[in-house]
Structure 1
Amino acid sequence: MKHAILPPLNTLRAFEAAARLGSFASAAKELNLTAAAISHRIKELEGRLDIPLFVRQPRGVLLTEAGRRYHERLSDIFTQIEQATKSLRQQGIDGPLTLSAPHSFIHHWLMPRLEGLQARHPGLMLTLRGESQLLSFRDNQADIGIRFGTGHYPGLHAEQLMTDSVSVLAPGTLLNHLTDTRPASLMQTQLLLEDSSINTSEPWNTWQPWFREVGLTLEPSRHKMQFSDSGLVLSACAEGLGLCLCRHSITSRLLQERKVQAILPWRSHEFAYYLVSHPSEVDNPRIVAFREWLQEEIRAFEPP
C-alpha cells in the first residue's frame, strides 16, 4: 500500500494561522511573511490535497467545510507540538540562576520588570547579587553578570545590551517651588551630589564639563556630598537633597514619576551595558531564557 506523503510543514503552518485568524494578512504578520507568500503556500497545500480549503472573497476568505474539519485536527496537533516544545525547554530552564549586576541597575531598572520574568518562567529561581566587581564565574558565585563598561572582559563572553546617556538631574520638589530654575542658577546654588565610585576619566560623569557647558567655573573648594553608588545618588536627588549626574537607564522611572527632571540635554555615554558569562555557559537554557527575556525588555525601553 502506498503511503500518503505529508504536505510540507510550512504550508500547514500557513494554513493553520490563516484559518485560526481568518485572514491571510493576519497570518502573514504572525509568521513574518507577506500575504502573497501565505496565499502561495495555501495554494500549494490545496494542490497537494486536491481539495479547496478556502473560499476567496473580495473582502477576505472563508473556510470550506473540508477546510474547517482539517483545521480542527491540525489545531490540536499544533497545540500538542507547542506544549511538547515548551515542556522540553522548561525542563532545562527550571532551577537556580544567579545574576551579578550593579546595585543601581538591579534596583532602578531590573526590579520593576522582574514580575514579567517570573510570569514567563515560574520555575526559574533567580538570585540577585548587587555588586560591580567582575567575577570569574568559575567559583559558583554567579552564573551570569551585567556590567557597565567598555565591553573588554578577557576570558568571558560579552554581549552588548544597550547604550546609555547622562545628564544633570534636579529634584522635582525643588523645581516646583523655585522661581529661578535656569541650569546655571541651580548649579551655583544647590548642593552637588556625587558618586565616588565613578571613573573620573569618563567624560560627562564628573561635574567639571557640565559647569563649563553653562559658562561656570567649578571651584575646587565647592562642597559635594558623596555616595558609594549611583543608585544612592539618584535616591538622594529624588529626596530633594541636591543635583546629581545620572544615567538615563536607571533614571527613567523617576523621570516618568516627575520625582527628578533633567535640566540639561542628555549626553551619550562612552560605556554600555554588557551581558557577561563564561564561554561554556552561553547555551545554558537558563541563561538563554534570561537573555531572551532581557533583550525583549530592552527593545521596549525608550531612550531619551
Structure 2
Amino acid sequence: MVNHLPPLAALRALEAASRHRSFTRAAAELNVTQSAISHQIRNLERQWGVELFERGTRPLRLTRGGAALAPVAGDFFTRLSATLDDLRAENLRGPLKVSTLESFALTWLVPRLSDFNERHPEIDVWISTKDGHVNFKAEDIDLGVRFGHGDYPGLHSRLLLRENVFPVCSAELLNRLGPPSNPAELIRYPLLQVHDGVMSSQWKTWLAAAGVPDLPLDEGPRFPNTNMALQAATTGQGIALARSAHLDGSLSVASLTRLFDVHCPSESAYYLVCPTGAQSRPRIAAFFDWISAEAYQSQQRYDLDWKPAT
C-alpha cells in the first residue's frame, strides 16, 4: 500500500499551495520554481484522477478533493516535524540555546553557569540576549527567561524568580550630599529613572510604599535600562532602584549602599518559557530543574538577608 502513496515532494507542494492559496508563494517558501509547484500538483491530480484546485481563480481555491487532502497533508508534515524534533532532543548531548535579557544574563545567570556546566558537561549552553520576545522556531531557540507577567500565549511558562526593588547610591554621593535621614529627603537628590516599559513606574511604587507618594518625579536623568541607571549610580550621579536579582552577581550593585528599611515587590517577575510540550525534552528539563533550584536558593538568601523594619 505504501508504494501507492504520492511522493512527499508532491504532498509538500499541495500543503504549501493550499496554505498560501498561491503557487508563487508556495514556490518561494519551498525554494523551487512556480512551474515546479504546478508540475507536482498536476502529477498528483493525474495520479489520483481528482482535481485539487480550481484553475483561473485568485487567490487559488481548493476543490472538494483538495479541501479533503490538504489538511491531511498539513497534519502529516506537522507531526513528522515534531517527531523529528523530539528524536533530536532525546539525547542530552549537544547545544542548549537560551534567550534572555542581557541584564539578567550578566548579573544573575552567567555567574552561575559554571555549576550547570559541571553537572551537565554533555550540554553546551549558548546564551542569546534580546530585550523583546523571540520566535523560538525561526530563531532556533530552545528556551528563554523573560521579565514580565507570565502571559505568553502558545508557550509553556513557569515562574522563576520574583523580585524586590530598593534604592541604592554610591558612598561618594553620600559623602558629597550627606545621607538622607528619611524617604522624604530624597527630594534633595537626583533620582535615576528607567523608561524601559517594565521598570518605568517602579519609583512611584516604591515611594508610595515608603510613605511619600507625592514626591515629584518630573525631573532627573532617565536611562533605557536598569543596568545603565546602576552604572550612573556607581559614579555618584544619583540614586537608582536596584532589583534583588542583581544582588548575587552584579559588581555595580555590590559597590553601592542600600538606603532605608523599605523595599517593595517588583510589578514583574522572571519566567522560564519554551514552546508548549518542549519542557519535557531532556536537555530543557535538565536546565529547568537546575535554574529553578538556583532561583529558589537566591530567593531564600535574599529573604534571610533582608529584614525590613516592622
Q: TM-score normalized by structure 1?
A: 0.61
5+ long unaligned stretches in structure 1? 1-89
CA contact (8 A) 1:149 1:274 kept: yes
Aligned length, in residue pairs: 212
CA distance in 1, matches of 2:93, 2:137: 21
Percent identity over the alignment? 27
Give the C-alpha shift of residue 177 in structure 1: 6.1
Give the C-alpha shift of residue 101 in structure 1: 0.9
Write out aligned runs for 1:135-284 (5 A).
135-175=134-174, 179-184=178-183, 187-199=186-198, 205-207=202-204, 210=207, 213=210, 215=212, 217-219=214-216, 221-222=218-219, 224-254=220-250, 258-264=254-260, 265-284=262-281
**Other-structure match for 1:116:** 115
CA contact (8 A) 1:103 1:229 kept: no
CA distance in 2, matches of 1:242, 1:201: 16
Q: Secondary structure at the match of 1:275?
A: strand
Structure 1 segments of 4+ aligned residues over 6 angstroms from their partners: none
Q: Secondary structure at the match of 1:206?
A: helix
CA contact (8 A) 1:173 1:259 kept: no
Write out aligned runs for 1:118-133 (5 A).
118-133=117-132
5+ long unaligned stretches in structure 2? 1-88
Q: 1:154 to 1:255 in 2, by over 3 A?
A: same
CA contact (8 A) 1:183 1:263 kept: no
Give the C-alpha shift of residue 145 in structure 1: 0.6
Write out aligned runs for 1:76-95 (5 A).
92-95=91-94
Q: Secondary structure at the match of 1:110?
A: helix
CA distance in 2, matches of 1:212, 1:284: 43
**Other-structure match for 2:296:** 299
Deviations 1:253-280 (A, max 9, x none): 4599741222131112232211000013
Q: Secondary structure at the match of 1:235?
A: helix
CA distance in 2, matches of 1:221, 1:174: 21
Q: Secondary structure at the match of 1:192?
A: coil
CA distance in 2, matches of 1:131, 1:286: 22
Give the C-alpha shift of residue 189 in structure 1: 2.8
CA distance in 2, matches of 1:295, 1:140: 24
Q: TM-score normalized by structure 2?
A: 0.60
CA distance in 1, matches of 2:275, 2:176: 51
CA distance in 1, matches of 2:167, 2:249: 16
CA contact (8 A) 1:103 1:231 kept: no
**Other-structure match for 1:102:** 101
Q: 1:183 to 1:115 in 2, by over 3 A?
A: farther
**Other-structure match for 2:286:** 289
Q: 1:185 to 1:270 in 2, by over 3 A?
A: closer
RMSD across aligned positions (CA):
2.9
Q: Secondary structure at the match of 2:111?
A: helix
Q: 1:172 to 1:141 in 2, by over 3 A?
A: farther
CA distance in 1, matches of 2:271, 2:234: 27
CA distance in 1, matches of 2:281, 2:209: 48
Name which of structure 1's ranges 164-173 and 183-192 shifts more when overlaid on structure 2. Answer: 183-192
Q: 1:177 to 1:105 in 2, by over 3 A?
A: same
Q: 1:105 to 1:220 in 2, by over 3 A?
A: closer
Q: Secondary structure at the match of 1:165?
A: strand
